């Protein structure tokens, strides 16, 4: 262990330290000294490197599929650039990396792998779902006493752990191929992904265009009849019962609001 002594005011120290911490070319902040009162450039360089390595390791744990797709060396080089551009703004490291999808979209050396930003969005969504608050199970017997026309004009409050990741790529197949031994190679078809968390661990589900349109409408608070209409624009044979059953079985429904309760 080592320690540093700084002879500057606290605000100036914080600004200088933060500015230099992730910039390998920046000198140590002015006034930074070791225990003997000497300039602490070498010790600061060691500390700066340790911080960068720790952030890279955190990103490796947070984005395992991206790490596998890119390979360890390429991933670490990418993330080194990312952490310098986007240092943590919160001590809650389980949320770190939220800017990575946009960073990947703008990172021209990887523009030929266009699905990478969606993979990052999926991994972020899985983390958000994992850390979201629990939802009390919905009593599905309530549905048996609701008239069909009342049900279709009702809205659903969904669990806070539910996540929808739209994609023009076979996103679910990419996830499965890189997480399950013996999985089939990704198909050439767009797949949005619904993430549910029935108990402790999030689970992704592949969605067709009509299913994704229905979930998106429900998540924005539209009545089930309106969600049904949006789904049917993609598929006239959309299966409403299948999607409602999926939500109930995965503990994704928090409450059902009938037209009377919506007033």
What are 55-89's pLDDT values in tens digits? 899 999 999 999 999 999 999 999 999 988 888 88
Residue 4 pLDDT level (bands cut at 50, 70, 90): very low
Per-residue pLDDT at 88: 84
pTM score: 0.84
Sheet (strand 192-196) strand order: 163-165, 192-196, 203-207
Per-residue pLDDT at 2: 40
Per-residue pLDDT at 143: 87
> Would you kindly state where each structural domain of the chain is located, as residue ranges?
5-113, 135-262
The tens digit of pLDDT for each residue in 118-139 reads 999 999 999 999 999 998 888 8
- SS3 state at 188: coil
| Contacts of 177 by beta carbon, 8 Å cutoff, 6+ apart | 183, 184, 185, 186
């Amino acid at each position: 262990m080592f320690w540093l002594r700084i002879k500057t005011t606290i605000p100036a120290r914080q600004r200088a330290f933060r500015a230099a911490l992730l910039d390998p070319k920046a000198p140590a902040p002015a006034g930074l000294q070791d225990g003997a009162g000497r300039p602490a450039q070498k010790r600061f360089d060691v500390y700066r490197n340790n911080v960068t390595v720790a952030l890279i390791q955190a990103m490796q744990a947070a984005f395992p599929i991206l790490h596998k797709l890119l390979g360890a060396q390429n991933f670490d080089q990418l993330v080194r650039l990312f952490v310098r551009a986007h240092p943590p703004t919160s001590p809650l490291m389980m949320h770190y990396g939220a800017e990575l999808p946009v960073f990947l979209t703008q990172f021209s050396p990887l523009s030929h792998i266009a699905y990478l930003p969606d993979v990052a969005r999926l991994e972020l969504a899985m983390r958000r779902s994992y850390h979201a608050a629990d939802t009390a199970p919905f009593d599905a017997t309530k549905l048996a006493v609701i008239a069909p026309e009342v049900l279709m004009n009702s809205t659903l409050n969904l669990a806070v752990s539910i996540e929808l990741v739209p994609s023009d790529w076979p996103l679910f197949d990419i996830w499965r191929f890189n997480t399950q031994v013996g999985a089939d190679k990704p198909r050439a078809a767009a797949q949005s992904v619904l993430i549910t968390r029935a108990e402790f661990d999030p689970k992704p589900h592949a969605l067709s265009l009509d299913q994704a349109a229905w979930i998106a409408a429900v998540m924005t608070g539209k009545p089930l009849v309106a969600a049904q209409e949006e789904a049917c624009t993609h598929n006239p044979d959309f299966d409403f019962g299948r999607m409602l059953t999926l939500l109930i079985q995965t503990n994704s429904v928090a409450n059902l609001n009938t037209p009377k309760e919506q007033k």
